[in-house]
Amino acid sequence: MTENPDAVVIGSGPNGLVAANMLADEGWDVLVLEAQPEPGGAVRSGELTKPGFVHDRFSAFYPLAAASPVVRGLHLEDFGLRWRRAPLALAHPTPDGACAVLSTDLDETAASLDNYAPGDGAAWRELYAQWQRAGRHLIDALLTPFPPVRAGGRLAAALGPREWARFARFVLLPVRAMADDSFRGTGGALLLAGNTLHTDLGPEQTLGGMFGWVLASLGQEHGFPVPEGGSSRLTDALVRRLEARGGRVVCSTPVTAIEVRGRRAVAVRTAHGDEIGVRRAVLADVGAPALYGSLVRPEHLPPRILDGMRRFRYDHATVKIDWALDAKVPWSAEPAGRAGTVHLGDSLDHLTEYSAQLVTGHVPARPFVLHRPARAHAADARSRGCQSREWRGERRDGSAAPAADLPAHRRTRASRDTDPRAVPRVGVRPPRRRRARRLRRQRRPRRALRRAPSQGFGVAEYRYPELSDAKTKVTRASPRRRWAGGSGR
């Protein structure tokens, strides 16, 4: 292991870990520095209510991971990840007793929409056929760096010249207009609109229809897959894979600054006072305001970035409530009990009112609710509890674990202090005579760097309501931000 890594990745969220894995695949020595005591960012799970109940702390289901060739190419199943799918990806019951569902069985989805208005099932089949023609290319275009020249070309070829203009209009539509064009009943509209709201766009917003259609079509094709055992299992698999390629994840180590010299990022500083030199790159998997507002000093940034940051806005916050229940939710609509995700919203008008209240700064009188039933994971919870202690550098009995006994990514500052090899220290630039050779070597890996930050993601929770003896309730409010790389929720 060299003293200065080829790349430091700041933040161990899914984007950071995917990027780190791709660089490691190209032979780079990669160090991931994470501020929190455990890796994963918003892809983490743990016991939040009662022992044995594992909750996803933030994100829960990941259809874009199922669709992403990059994530599939990582073969995370070889590192312990097991994807699970509920019998129904999604159910949206309505007060009239009907229920729109999204099932990987197209006939079942269509039949549920025909219950609202005969013919709406056929309308969904048509929308899904359009997805099968163009969806893959559209996803590629959304998830590759801008401008998406090749993916755009493939999309145009798949559609043909006549269809192209119609499709351009289609992707711009607000979800209400898209639903009006396709469906006569409310079921189809709610199915699309609930998915649009996952992406924080309201029913009246441009592009909202396209995002609803993309997510609903992904659910139709792949279901809404979740990692068995909780979302941390996805993170664990990414970390294990990285470590198997020599990469390291060090937690409880916030990065406070990126050092730029000669227009290149050459080192990072940590809150512990270390300066870690990098030979090739610094990747920041952090919010834009943190990157451009504090990590990089303004004199190193182009004026257009600083100007753009003045207009940057985070999405609305999400309020998340975790319950441990003593029985299944007694849904009056039977399909809701078979669904991994249940949307609650009476009508499209209700969802528009809710969105309007959010954008005008009011607490919605009747929120849009996204319900995810959870499964008690007793055995799983025990093993995760043990991991948390390891992440803090402690043994099960509470004593400090020697750094050498810990997996590299779980070495904290405390354990690192007993093992100076765990985190590289002061950055040293390589001697000049080696630089030309190194630059030549960089050419191939740069391809990986360009691809890495924009891969789509998604895996989530799959929890069945086989819940046992608890009635505890906790409430948490989670500020949420949209992932620019294209993840939906």
Ligand X SMILES: Cc1cc2nc3c(=O)[nH]c(=O)nc-3n(C[C@H](O)[C@H](O)[C@H](O)COP(=O)(O)OP(=O)(O)OC[C@H]3O[C@@H](n4cnc5c(N)ncnc54)[C@H](O)[C@@H]3O)c2cc1C
Q: Which residues bind ligand X (CB under 6 A)?
A: 10-16, 33-36, 41-43, 58-62, 64, 254-255, 285-286, 290, 318, 320, 457-458, 460, 478, 480, 483, 487-489
Q: How far is the CB of 295 from ligand X (least distance, A)?
A: 6
Q: How far is the CB of 343 from ligand X (least distance, A)?
A: 13
The H or E element that residue 84 is part of is strand 83-84
Q: Cβ closer to ligand X: 148 or 488?
A: 488
The H or E element that residue 302 is part of is none
Q: Cβ closer to ligand X: 34 or 114?
A: 34
Could you give phi then psi for residue 124, rounded to 5 degrees? -65, -40
Q: Cβ closer to ligand X: 23 or 42?
A: 42
Q: Cβ closer to ligand X: 174 or 485?
A: 485
CA distance 293 to 258: 12
Q: How far is the CB of 231 from ligand X (least distance, A)?
A: 8
Q: How far is the CB of 65 from ligand X (least distance, A)?
A: 7
Could you give phi then psi for residue 440, rounded to 5 degrees? -65, -45
CA distance 220 to 69: 18
Q: How far is the CB of 399 from ligand X (least distance, A)?
A: 27
| Angle in degrees, CA 317, 311, 353, rounded to 5 | 40
Which single residue is written with the structure tokens 């924009």? 454
Q: How far is the CB of 6 from ligand X (least distance, A)?
A: 18
Q: Cβ closer to ligand X: 372 or 377?
A: 372
Q: Cβ closer to ligand X: 61 or 368?
A: 61
Bridge-partner residues for 417, per DSSP? none
CA distance 6 to 280: 5
Q: How far is the CB of 485 from ligand X (least distance, A)?
A: 7
CB-based burial label for 177 (10 Å; 0-12, 13-18, 19+): middle
Q: Cβ closer to ligand X: 32 or 193?
A: 32
Q: How far is the CB of 372 from ligand X (least distance, A)?
A: 8
CA distance 62 to 215: 10
Q: Cβ closer to ligand X: 144 or 182?
A: 144
304's torsion region: left (phi>0), alpha (psi -120 to 50) or beta? alpha
Give CA separation, 171 vs 146, 148, 164, 433, in Å: 17, 16, 11, 53
